Structure 1
Amino acid sequence: MNRISVIHRLYAGFGLLCLIIVCWGAFNISIMSSFSGATDRLTSDVFPLSGSIQEMEAHRSETARYSVEVVAAGDQKVLNSQSDRLSGALSKLADSLDAVAASDSTAMFPELAAVNESANARLAELRRSVKAILGIKRQLLSVSDSVNSGLSHFLANNGEMKRTLVREGTEPAGQDIYIRDLFTTVMENLANIELLIMQMVSTENPSELNAIVENLRFNTSTFEQDMSALVNEVPRLEGLPSLVERFLAAVNDDAGIISQYSDYRQSRLELDLLARKIDLLLSAMASELDEARKIVADRTSASVFALDETALNSEQLVYWLLPLVVLIALARIGSAVGGIHQGAEHIRHGMDEQENVSQSVARQVSEISASVAESLESIDELVTTCDRLEDSVTSIESLMARFRIL
């Protein structure tokens, strides 16, 4: 490692930092893609599905409200208006349910498959019940006035029959024990009939209503004989037979008011049962819609929590990775600075050695220069000596020449 130059170390550190940054960027891109996919699923699938469920609940509430108004309608005009609104609410409910079924909700939310199937079954049953309740309601409105009028006349006839008995039969009954027994029997029968009529008007149980009508007809089987015997004994009761005839016709004839009222009450009870059935169907559908809304809400919450968890993990990774990058960068910078210091020390040491060599060379050069100077001086002295010798030789030669001449 020490053999690697400082520049190469810097390059290696920079390359490592670039690699970390690239990996970090790829991770962020992956996180953002995950965010985008989850957000797209929420906005394109989950939120519209939640809106469809809320729309179904709104149409279900409208259906419940209009069904109550249909049952409470007081005339045909109001019934026709409320019937149209109820049919429209049912159609909207069916359309919204079809929209949910046509979406990819089953693939996204397998739990909704059972909810959709149950809701469709309840919607079909709801349509049948609404059709039946509209038919019964129209029939009731068509006979309501005649039944109420016939019942009023029936009760008025009974009241007149009882008043006639009391007014015209009390005095003869007090004078004759046989007439008194007949009078008492007839009055007791009338009291029983009145009680049965009150029970018939007030009962809400269809089986009880049928039993009361049968009992009422049974009590009239001997009533006509006792009344005829009493009229024969009391001539003052000559106006009573016509009242008794109308009473018996009203009770025993299939077209009499008791039969009409019994059918009317049976239809009313059937209407109430259908109304309760519709209410139960709509309540069950509301529970199923609540379940579907809870499923979607739970999945939405899970997606949001997953996004939050991913964001938190990414944030924590940034918090851990950023100090690591800084530490690596500082380590690389420290290593480079150390290398630079080491190189500077080598350079400084080399410069010191070079300076020592330079000084040694300078000293040697000085010594050589001094030696050369001394040599030059010696040479100068030698040259001077030579010159002197030459002069001496010349002088000697002159002297010798002179000696020859002599």
Structure 2
Amino acid sequence: MSSSTTKLTLHEDWAVVILGSLIIILAIAGLLLPVPTFGWANSAALSDKVFSSANLSKIGVQFVFVLIIGGIGALITGKSVKNYALGFPLVYLITMVALVLAGSSQAKALNLEAVIFSLVLGLVISNFLKLPEWLKSSLSTELFVKIGLVLLGTSVIFSDILKAGSLGLIQALLVVTSVWYFAFWVCKKLKVDDEIAMIISSAVSICGVSAAIATAGAIKGDSKKLSYVISMVLITAIPMMIFMPIIAHYFKFSQAVTGAWLGGSIDTTGAVVASGSLVGEVALKISTIVKFSQNVLLGLAAFAISIYWTYTQHPAGSDPDKKPTLKVIWERFPKFVLGFIGASLLFSFFISPETGAHIKDSLKNLQGLWFALAFTSIGLETNFADLFSENSKKPLYAFLIAQTFNIFITLAIAFVLF
């Protein structure tokens, strides 16, 4: 009998479902982390609010909580807990710097989200400093991303969408379907590889960053390709946020049409809210509902994409004419989607609105934190040369063409429905 023992490890997706569920259960049970303050307009506010002892203690409590959750994730997925414990403080520190930068009044005026600063800071550090291999191996990008996606499900409340009636859902379905297929067709015409084509199509058609992350998880995509698509989404969201309300005002579009156009075209939720606010209360409401409607489709889209990917992509040496079995489909299915859908169903139908309102700020804060940590990790493991190489031109062209189509088809649908 062998004296060696076999280490039992979980697939990362199952680990994410467990950890995301644990965070939600703890919140429902009353363990609500205090939400740190990062907003500031001048040096005095930065010192008195952000760097106050009370706020720093909140940041410290948050650090311990996330360190423990991530450590459990490393343990049950078979990664080095020691390397994680050594590397995570650096990732957390960089992320805190990003949150402080994003909290400035100037950044908020431009609607620059924390994930942008997280990604940029990570890229700068990884490209100008030689990071040790143990640090790179300790990065838990996918774990962070997927925990954030599970928590995102708690904010996808079906009743909020139904309040706007069927028009928002109809537009979301029409836009997502038509734009996704057009974007994928363009990518294939330009001979963009299948992985990045899937990520681009979902990012443009559904809900930007979250859709790109979910799709990359569903197809086990390369984090460098994901980083490139996310960079395009974040960069294009800013001019769209600024100029689309101006165009709507110039052509005297109604607030309802403008809101539906903004909500269906702009890829990040923050930018949608900002642009809708520039137009008016009606535009803000409709743009938010349309964007929420598209967010609801995120889990279903990831499920469909994973099945499509399983049927069209075959392991090396396998028979391309042999279709995968249900067992293979289940094995490749991204289990974190179950966590996302489960969280959405839980908060839509089983958690009282009072309880949901009581814990939403804490969960929303943690969701944003996990995403920011993930973007810091993506930056730390990505090289500028990979983002701006010759091979990146075709995906960029495909993204811009698809985004242009998205703008026009969404406007047409908005005029018909609203």
Structure index of larger Rg: 1
* TM-score under structure 2 length normalisation: 0.23
* TM-score under structure 1 length normalisation: 0.24
